Structure 1
Amino acid sequence: MRLTDPQNKILKMMYDVILDPSLTTMERVLFVKTKNEIEFGRTFETEVTALLKELNHIPNSKRTTHFRQELSKVFPFSAF
């Protein structure tokens, strides 16, 4: 798995989100699935885009909302 620096930054943020105890079970499942797919070698942008779409269908915790805000600083949504 070869990721760019911004992608590595996002992956690290995902680890932090997954470890946050305030995360809902469904949010954690979605983040872990995405992290695993990226680590398996799937296309980074495709997996993160899928995560964002799935997160649109469930209530988001403050931690997930913060992740989305930080993600938009690293990668503008138009990049996905």
Structure 2
Amino acid sequence: MEQAQKRGLTRLLLRWPERRAELRKKFARDPGFAELCEAYEVACEAEAYWTKSTLPVGPARAREYDALVSATEQDILIRLSLS
């Protein structure tokens, strides 16, 4: 799933442009951080899917994935602060 890791990193680079160097460095050196980037990508994709869904459960699922995106961002920020 290396491509999902890279897409997640790209999302984070766009989300926090002031932290680009820090994000790239951590991604290159920390496999666990790369896995967090992948988790972030998957959560963002799922949130987008459910946001567009016309199913009755769509809004609730979108909120769940939005919370997961936020929690993953917090995990990423914590991991960056431990560098």
Pick 1 or 2: higher relative contact order, CA cutoff 8 A, min separation 6.
Answer: 1
TM-score, length basis structure 1: 0.34
More helix, by proportion: 2
User: Based on CA coordinates, which of the two structures has the bigger radius of gyration?
Assistant: 2
